[in-house]
Copies of this chain bind each other. A is one copy, B any other.
């Protein structure tokens, strides 16, 4: 079913509020098998909203709107939609009761403004808002269908999960199968080269998308639902995975730090980290995972040479001879943090994030990453320069991925 999203609100056009709703809805609609044809953001003016409705209904038979359902005078979505669908606002006693209960829970009492939230269009289905006062609405008039949701993200999401998802299931016949393969450490073009045979012989209604982010590429396979396609999809996943080998770190929604956590837990290994140029970011990524304290003991961010020498016990001579950004220093950092923090694995990162710090032989974006265990250490050199913040991110993801491949 062709679908459009209309986001309503002056605050979004002024860049005061980040519109996270439409990204969420895009993902959810795709997963539900709806074909999103356009997204529009308009002001809180009735004629702008009506223009947007007309434009979108020319391109689609379902519109989802967010925003403009609050009790203040600038929230005009409800009245505008009632007019558009030739109905009027009436009082809904059930909605009033529910709002009262919600307010009681928050130690508040019903005001005039709250009461107006129980005035809703006569010809529509009410979509219950369990977390706020603005009900969702579903309008239908011949081939025109519209779902109106509040703009507050957590309210919108709750209504979507509980009320809209079943509704969409009844509206959308065509179901979608989807599968993600997550890779790290290789460029999109390299992956494309390796799986070009598979891609060329992709069945007609299968789609393969490359979704790159810094240091990672997610492959998304999608197709229409059938038992046959489900088998083909599983088969494709296996084929792609076997070609890409250890570039693949997981499937679905898993993150790289989660994949590492699973390996460390399975192998009963503990980890410590010595960071320099990444300034704590690698440790932060590792600790985004709930329960990471099971394997991550801690880290040392040695942002100065004194800390490297006095705390990490890197030999002064090594830094004087090779510099802090060197293979030798990276090895000592990883080897020593492992010993000092008494862990199975030590990971180190030392490099030049920029914008300052480059020398004639050491360019911006140069980084050494070392992984050490009791027996040996393994060091890698990379160069990547897209500005400080992106460099830090690339260094961190690369370090995690090098670690992952060595503990597999």
A residues near B, CB below 8 A?
A: 7, 11-19, 22-30, 36-43, 48, 51-52, 55, 59, 131, 154, 209, 211, 220, 273, 275, 278-284, 286-288, 290-293, 296-304, 306-307, 310-311, 340-342, 354-356, 386-390, 392
Verify A298–B287 contact, CB threshold 8 A. Answer: no
Report whether B39 and A43 are in contact in the complex, using a CB–CB cutoff of 8 Å. Answer: no
Known: A209-B14, A303-B298. A37 touches B48 (CB 8 A): yes
18 additional contacts (CB under 8 A) given A280-B282, A288-B388 = A13-B36, A15-B23, A16-B30, A18-B23, A38-B42, A38-B48, A131-B386, A279-B284, A279-B292, A281-B284, A287-B392, A288-B392, A290-B388, A291-B356, A298-B307, A301-B301, A307-B341, A311-B340
B residues near A12, Cβ cutoff 8 Å: 26, 39
A287 and B303 within 8 A (CB):
yes
Knowing A154-B387, A291-B356 are in contact, say whether A14-B39 is a contact too (CB < 8 A). Answer: no
Please pick, from B14, B15, B26, B307, the residue contacting A297 in the complex, using a CB distance under 8 A. Answer: B307
How far does the Cβ of A161 sit from chain B's closest Cβ, in whole Å?
13
A286 touches B296 (CB 8 A): no
What residues of B have a CB within 8 angstroms of the CB of A392 in the complex? Answer: 284, 287-288
Identity of the chain B residue whose Cβ is nearest the Cβ of A212 in the assembled complex? B17
Closest B residue to A283 using CB positions: B280
